[in-house]
């Protein structure tokens, strides 16, 4: 009973933590993008993209590896736990200093970023002190309550500081300082708990530190490759077109990320269930869950993508303002990423990861990375941020196709093309009706959002009901039974 209650609490805390990761950016993003403007917002995002590479190198996969090692030792005595943590902590100190040295050399010698040196040095302090980020320990100990409470507290302080100190377009340096302050505050609270429980030991075993580095190398390779893959477009835009265009592109990306984070959290909920069923070799149940989750998530993702496409102008003007209207076409193009990345996420979270087949995706990641770099280089020079949007859609589609065919070789699941066709047709009819109503009534942009999102959902599900979609009928029956 105690284990069951503990599991339930962890699930609740994890749900709250995930919700805050979505809620707080929804509050800060409109304020920051409007107040800082495309240039200031672009400088921040360009700088964060660069710093992000060095942060990933300083972490070197410790988040995954450290969580796993602590999880193994948590019930085997405090001394063993203390030894594992201490060696991992020292390993991370070494990596943080090495990574910061590389960052310092990069900032010092790259003359093309001379205008951003100060902000890069400020944000770069996160690289030097990345070893303070020990939330992997609390994840391994399954102490999600500490992580969640600290996160909510520091995010609330972050929100207050943003509203106090970010007041005009020149305050992007203030925002960089706030980011750094919250980084220290969040991680020093966690370090306090570590020292309070006397979990740090200076007697470090160099052989174990070297073993940790060797063990983390493959994980680090995967994480670093993924980081380059997902943020290379912003860095290339910054170098080729400048920070203002990064700001415009970041806004186009932000709306997609917010929608995808919600859909991704749904997919992750199913991950532990599939892992458990794989352990007991219950293939029929696995296939049933895969089929239901695939169609259930696409049931949401497809209309979300079409809805974002039709409401792009309203969303940009309401949340970011007229200064970002030049990101309209890019955002419309990138709205299709919601469908593409959703399929990839389902395959990764429900087929690849539960089976421990991460290594099989390395080649796909590199194909995606090389494709993205080549397409960005060719298209950004010709089409600006629109080219970057096109490059992202093509790249993600290529990765999705690779993942799909690979997944079919390791898992037996069926794709009901009839249902997917109904989702697409219903979504198309939905946006046509919304567009007609928009032209007839000519409401304000905020009223368009408030009115057309629920109305669009209503139209979509009514159309699916009329088309007699099997999954929708099954879902309706399940909901009625639970009520």
Give the mean pLDDT of 105-109: 92
Give pLDDT, residue 155.
93
Please name the residues in contact with 253: beta carbons below 8 A apart, sequence gap of 6 or more: 234, 334
Give pLDDT, residue 130.
92
Give the mean pLDDT of 17-33: 84
Could you tell me the pLDDT band of residue 278, with boundaries at 50, 70 and 90? Answer: very low
Give pLDDT, residue 184.
94
Closest CA to 132 of 188, 214, 74: 188
- The answer to whether 424 touches 303, Cβ cutoff 8 Å, is no
Could you tell me the pLDDT band of residue 390, with boundaries at 50, 70 and 90? Answer: very high
| Rounded (5°) CA angle 260-371-127 | 65
The burial of 138, by beta-carbon neighbours within 10 Å (0-12 exposed, 13-18 middle, 19 or more buried), is given as: buried
Comparing 244 with 282, which gets the higher pLDDT? 244
Report whether pLDDT(16) > 50. yes
DSSP class of residue 168?
S
Comparing 477 with 237, which gets the higher pLDDT? 237
Closest CA to 55 of 90, 88, 102: 102
Tell me the three state secondary structure of residue 207: helix
Give the mean pLDDT of 427-451: 91
Comparing 473 with 310, which gets the higher pLDDT? 310
Q: pTM of the prediction?
A: 0.82
Could you tell me the pLDDT band of residue 267, with boundaries at 50, 70 and 90? Answer: low
The domain locations on the chain are 2-231, 243-482
Could you tell me the pLDDT band of residue 352, with boundaries at 50, 70 and 90? Answer: confident
Question: pLDDT, tens digit, for every residue of 138-169?
Answer: 877 877 788 888 989 999 999 999 999 999 99
Report whether pLDDT(254) > 60. yes
Report whether pLDDT(127) > 80. yes
């Amino acid at each position: 009973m105690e284990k069951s209650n503990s599991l339930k609490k962890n699930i609740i805390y994890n749900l709250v933590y995930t919700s805050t990761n979505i809620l707080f950016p929804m509050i800060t993003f409109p304020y920051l993008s409007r107040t800082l403007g495309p240039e200031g917002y672009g400088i921040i995002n360009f700088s964060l993209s660069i710093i992000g590479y060095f942060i990933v190198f300083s972490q070197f996969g410790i988040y995954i590896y450290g969580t796993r090692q602590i999880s193994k030792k948590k019930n085997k005595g405090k001394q063993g736990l203390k030894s594992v943590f201490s060696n991992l902590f020292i390993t991370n100190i070494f990596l943080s200093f090495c990574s910061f040295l590389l960052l310092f050399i990069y900032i010092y010698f790259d003359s093309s970023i001379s205008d951003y040196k100060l902000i890069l040095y400020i944000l770069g302090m996160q690289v030097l002190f990345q070893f303070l980020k020990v939330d992997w320990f609390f994840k391994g100990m399954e102490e999600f309550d500490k992580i969640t409470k600290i996160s909510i507290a520091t995010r609330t302080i972050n929100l207050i500081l943003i509203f106090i100190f970010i007041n005009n377009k020149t305050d992007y340096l203030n925002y960089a300082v706030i980011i750094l302050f919250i980084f220290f505050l969040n991680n020093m609270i966690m370090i306090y708990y570590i020292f309070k429980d006397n979990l740090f030991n200076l007697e470090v075993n160099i052989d174990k530190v070297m073993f940790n580095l060797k063990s983390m190398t493959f994980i680090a390779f995967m994480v670093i490759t993924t980081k380059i893959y997902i943020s290379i477009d912003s860095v290339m835009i910054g170098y080729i077109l400048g920070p203002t265009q990064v700001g415009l592109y970041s806004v186009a990306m932000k709306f997609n990320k917010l929608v995808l984070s919600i859909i991704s959290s749904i997919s992750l909920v199913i991950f532990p269930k599939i892992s458990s069923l794989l352990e007991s070799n219950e293939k029929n149940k696995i296939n049933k869950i895969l089929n239901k989750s695939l169609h259930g998530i696409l049931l949401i993702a497809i209309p979300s993508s079409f809805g974002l496409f039709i409401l792009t102008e309203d969303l940009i003007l309401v949340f970011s303002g007229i200064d970002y209207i030049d990101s309209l076409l890019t955002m419309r193009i990138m709205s299709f990423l919601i469908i593409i990345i959703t399929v990839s996420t389902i395959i990764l979270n429900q087929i690849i990861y539960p089976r421990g087949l991460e290594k099989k995706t390395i080649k796909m990641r590199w194909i995606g990375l090389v494709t993205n770099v080549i397409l960005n280089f060719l298209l950004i020079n010709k089409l600006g941020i629109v080219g970057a949007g096109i490059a992202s859609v093509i790249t993600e589609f290529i990765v999705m196709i690779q993942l799909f065919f690979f997944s079919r070789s390791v898992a037996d699941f069926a794709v009901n093309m009839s249902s997917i066709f109904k989702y697409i047709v219903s979504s198309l009819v939905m946006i046509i009706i919304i567009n007609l109503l928009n032209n007839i009534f000519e409401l304000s942009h905020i009223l368009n959002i408030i009115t057309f999102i629920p109305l669009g959902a209503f139209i979509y599900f009514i159309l699916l009901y009329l088309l007699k979609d099997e999954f929708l009928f099954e879902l309706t029956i399940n909901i009625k039974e639970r009520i």
